[in-house]
Amino acid sequence: EAGVTQFPSHSVIEKGQTVTLRCDPISGHDNLYWYRRVMGKEIKFLLHFVKESKQDESGMPNNRFLAERTGGTYSTLKVQPAELEDSGVYFCASSQVGGRTGVETQYFGPGTRLLVL
C-alpha cells in the first residue's frame, strides 16, 4: 500500500511568489492534515480536512494560505504571496478512524521543504 506522498519535495521561491504544495493521502483515508515545521521549532498543526470539508483550520497562520481538497482525495496548500517566514517543512498526514476503538493513527508524508528567499 502506498503511503502519503507529497510534491514537490523541495521548492525554492522568491518572496512575493506563489507556491502550491500537493498531498496525496493514503487511499481511503478520510482525514487529511497539514502541519508545518519552521527551523528550530516544533511541528505545528495547520488544518484538518474530513473528506472535502475543512474540519479545523485554527492553525492557518493568515489568509495568504489557502488549502483545498476538492473531491475529498488529494489536497493542495497554496501560499500567495510567500513571505520569508513561510520557509519550513510542510508535512501532510492522513488517517482513518480505527473501527470500534476510535483510535486514529496519523501517517505522515515525507514533507515539502520550502525556502523563501
Partner 1 sequence: QKEVEQNSGPLSVPEGAIASLNCTYSDRVSQSFFWYRQYSGKSPELIMSIYSNGDKEDGRFTAQLNKASQYVSLLIRDSQPSDSATYLCALGFQKLVFGTGTRLLVSP
Binding residues for partner 1 (CB under 8 A): 3-4, 31, 33, 35, 40-45, 48, 55-56, 58-59, 91, 95, 103-111
Cβ partners under 8 Å of residue 74, min gap 6:
22, 23, 24, 25
Q: Please confirm whether the linkage preceding 110 is cis (ω < 30° from 0).
A: no
Closer to partner 1 at the Cβ: 56 or 83? 56
Closer to partner 1 at the Cβ: 55 or 80? 55
Closer to partner 1 at the Cβ: 43 or 115? 43
Instruction: In angstroms, give the least distance from the CB of 83 to partner 1.
Output: 23
Instruction: In angstroms, give the least distance from the CB of 81 to partner 1.
Output: 27
Instruction: In angstroms, give the least distance from the CB of 56 to partner 1.
Output: 6
- Residue 95 pairs in a beta bridge with 31
Q: What letter represents residue 60's amino acid?
A: M
Cβ partners under 8 Å of residue 101, min gap 6:
none
Instruction: In angstroms, give the least distance from the CB of 68 to partner 1.
Output: 19
What does each C-alpha distance from 36 to 50, 85, 117 come to in angstroms? 19, 12, 18
Closer to partner 1 at the Cβ: 14 or 112? 112
